[in-house]
Structure 1
């Protein structure tokens, strides 16, 4: 089967690096990363890959030049090979450069084919989703094996404003060269995403360990093999280093601590209420400061942000010798206002309707 890992736009190469590091013979395609494999590979990808937002399984494709042809070929498709008649299903459709262009008509015909030939119920709130894409008159059918987006690790019940998704945070940490062997400090930590992801990476905790997946509703699912795969994942010894978060908002720090506890990394993480002007390096070796500060579009007025970034840069330059700094922003002028010696920024990444980039320094003098 073709297995497609959906990437956040701009993070395709980083996701490819991760997939290959996990042993998948992958390549990039528009929108993500693809490789071939069987159902155990689908399960392992969902369980272990930190940077994908979904894992799609391409189950078939056929030409459809007009609605009657779509109807006929959908009725002939072997739905029973892929779906259970007792599991509700939801259909999503897109069309591009094709003679069949109306998504509603596509959904209607696929739904009818499935109910006529398999009898599976159709429901708007179904956890299992079949994605139908018609492009250049080629109809491709893909099952979403993940269910909820993979950034939902299962431990975060509380989030702050403009949260960084776990999948993006993991890829930005990777872009910073983080491998779990150095401490991390996020002085605007919000709900603790960067800190918790870093601690999980350091201890070898797989991201999907606390949640369920849509593939468990498919006829191909082998509960015993899946249980064995999950139990085979081993953690690393608890590292001596710690991962630190601070924020001036006491509510954010409370959320971060609760999220870290649910994630099982409370003993690796430390959170405290501090304005960024009061941060100091934690004990131990230098590591990575990573910051996702406000960047204008989220709060409306960019003017005060230049002063914030200048003050932030002064604190880091004067106190964090030997540390590297990663700054996430949509505004190059704000990054430059810090006065930090950033290298050329990374690729543009889609985030909440904006295009952000990671700006990274080497060890500060």
Structure 2
């Protein structure tokens, strides 16, 4: 019997386990999923917790509830991956698991210790994050009683999970403080290492103009060198200083520490991965999905979804002795909350930046691309139900895995 081992039961790992459990003959294949944590987090929901829109029960479910019964589930930290021996050692009981094929879906994590002064005595006091459930809940408590001042959102370094989330946070903050009647007492600033509001020119121009309309200051190419928590200031490597009363940090992101221990990652512990086949570079039986890759695509749930959609049929070809197809095109599809019950939608891939248009039906929508609408907001709100009930369970969505140009146009 052949053994397929999936490391990680987050978004990508769970979807892959569900899809492959249906496709592979259980008399020929044994599938095992390993994860260190029993709890599955709906990470896009963390954004809404600080503003009281979502609460902890909205974003937390048991992982076992979303994995098929035919799959062996092991809850244990992973000590090391030993690819030359086709085996993985677990940390909990020193158990060794062998495999014929390995899928690495170990995700990414925030590492606030990478920025001097960030993760010290002011952490979750005057310095907060919203990329973890605990951080988002602590920030919710802080905002509930905050009376205004200088709120600075700093992105430490790219890549990060959901690159538009910092912008969404500021748009929602603008709305929230207006609702609280204190917007005139709040100064909002985005300090980003990027040269603009976003990485792609057309979207960056649009989103930058919205930040300006909402009176949100943008400090571009701000590469943070350190935080001075007692001084309540952040400094860049070129010695620029930004003072704050409340710092909302998007810390450095890295891959799982087991990737670093196993010598499989780059400087940030992301696994070098073929951008089209999702095969780990240098190995013919290891695939990488989701945030664990070093691909230039977004680290987002939609990307994991499109990766799994292309990976599963490609993997079935591969085990039948056929060559892998260059199937994944970097497709990403992201809703952007803009506040006041409205939102944007962007759809892009490796080669095509976000363009205006209609999605998913050309000319009909119902969602508009790069255009603010209430329908886009409700698309974002409906996505949570779709995530728990459709995506995680590996069910099909009527959206092609490869990006389509149908319904899009380039502005002059």
Q: Report which of the two structures shows the higher radius of gyration computed on alpha carbons.
A: 1
Higher strand share: 2
Bin for the TM-score computed over the shorter chain: under 0.3
TM-score (norm 2): 0.24
